[in-house]
Every structure is written in structure tokens, then in C-alpha cells.
Structure 1
Amino acid sequence: MLLTVLLPAVLAGCVSTPNGFVRLDEHEANQAVIYRYDPEKVNKAAMDADALSYCKENGFDNATQIPPLASTVPTLKRMAYTCSYAVKKR
């Protein structure tokens, strides 16, 4: 019963953020960051900028989106970005 009451509140918190996404997890060993987002409300540019900011804070130059991940919540999706260094031209 408690789960039925709390689950909608938790999920609403994810999609009610101003840009329609929330950072779920950071994998420093894999140099990746994962987001959950509402595809109808997401500000993709803001999510891209947040991923790039995360990567730069950890000493990298780029944030590259990888294919979407499976989501356990039917109305929401998950996206991951990997951090990498820029290739310097000589």
C-alpha cells in the first residue's frame, strides 16, 4: 500500500524538474553519466550541457551520447553519455 502511494510521488519528481531530466548515476570508472528523462518534456540541449559539464569537471573534453538504455519506467527513458578527451591536431 505504501509503495502505491510513494511511487507516483517519486516518479513525478523525475519529470517535474525544469528541464525534464534527472541525473541518475555517475560511473567514474566507466567515464559515464546516466540520465532519466521524459521524452515529451526534456530540454535535450540542457541535458547535453549538463553531461558536458560533468565530463569537464572530471578532466575530460567531450561528452558523447551512446544508444538509449532500457528503462524500467514505461513513460520515461534513460540516456547515457561517455566522457572522452579531444583529439589534438599537430
Structure 2
Amino acid sequence: MEAILRCDAGAECSLKLWGRVVVEDGASLPDQLSRADRASTLPVLFTVAFWEISRASDARTRSMARVSAEKDGRIKELEMKLALTMCSQ
């Protein structure tokens, strides 16, 4: 059976995998896979044929980079203040 698997990675990023699904050797199929009132686990093999990573939009990426740069600047400022206090001792 052909299948698409989409994994949400958070922060508007996702991983999509296209491939083929086959039931593992020795696994038995449930009588009715569509019954919602019965939970079952079916071991399968997913063979990846193609994959795609979708990143956050450019605006979101720029925003995350700006926030990261601001935090880096604040960390450097605090490190310099700490170094100055250490020198006076």
C-alpha cells in the first residue's frame, strides 16, 4: 500500500515521507480495521521513497533569528559585566 506520513516538528516545521507500507512477517491483520470501537496494533514496515522537510515561513525564520540575536547580545553584555566585576576584585 502506498502511504504518506506527515510528522509535525513544531514551530511550523514538518517532515513528509512518501513510501510503501507492508505488514511485517508474522503479523496478522485484524478482522475489521475500520471499527472505531476496537483498538489494535498492526506492525508494519514503511519503506521511504521520497522525503521533504517543510520549514517555517521566511517571516517566522527571520523573527526567530532576530530573537536569537537579541538574546545573544544580552548574554554577551552580562558576560562583560561579570568580567568587569571580577577585575575589580
Q: TM-score, normalized by length of structure 1?
A: 0.25
Structure with greater strand share of residues: 2
TM-score, normalised with respect to structure 2: 0.25
